[in-house]
Structure 1
């Protein structure tokens, strides 16, 4: 299945008064991870939306192990764990160095502009062996 990693630095506004990342920001990190993963495979969310394809969060969760702090350099590992005709599932792991800070799971539904389910675009079906997008 497709995998991707990228790094980001925790910004001050993402933290509380003690310099700890607010728990809700992990969901923004996960969204950023999905966008960066799609870019790494040569596609843009804006192009999908222009074509009337919307990927909306059906469900999302996060399990917190250790706090991330202001100034930390985080590495977010994202993997596609399941894809169906209308849904896409991701797993996320957030690391500081080799220390696992949080794990998440999301399911996205593919809909049109009217909110009707639609078929997942072919670009999301990857060659399992190579991890490359389907042609």
Structure 2
């Protein structure tokens, strides 16, 4: 079993589906982003406050492997864990359909930081106690 740090349950809304009746591939990025923000909030880290302090966290790369489709009304879990890799913080995020625990998506999201307009060496990730 995966050793996740955080999970959040969400539900597919009708307008997130395409003409085929499945969640549009671009919508999955929103689910992943929402989970990352909620994770930071659970650690008492305000994304807004970091930005106001000149600490900009940004995605530099996303890899998504689609396994199964979600459809309107499906409840699902976004689960995540993190690792450091050089200047990057890596979020490993998986989406599971709630009803049958089927793996729907595996993602790897690489995040970098800019501090006061300059690319960080990643030290901010250590100070955030993630």
**TM-score grouping bracket, smaller chain normalisation:** 0.7 to 0.9
Which runs of structure 1 show a deviation greater than 2 angstroms over 4 or more consecutive aligned residues? 81-84
Instruction: Determine the C-alpha separation between the residues in 2 that align with 1:75 and 1:41.
Output: 19
- Counterpart for residue 112 of structure 2: 109
Equivalent residues in 2 for 1:95-106, closer than 5 Å? 95-97=96-98, 98-106=101-109
RMSD: 1.7
- Counterpart for residue 58 of structure 1: 60
Structure 2 unmatched ranges of 5 or more? none
Q: Deviations over 1:97-118 (max 9, x none)?
A: 211001000111100353x212
- TM-score, normalised to structure 1, is 0.83
- TM-score, normalised to structure 2, is 0.86
Aligned in 2, Cα 1:77/1:44: closer, same or farther, shift over 3 Å? same
Shift of 1:7: 0.7
Structure 1 unmatched ranges of 5 or more? 127-135
Q: Deviations over 1:71-96 (max 9, x none)?
A: 10010001112254x32110011001
Number of residue-to-residue matches in the alignment = 123
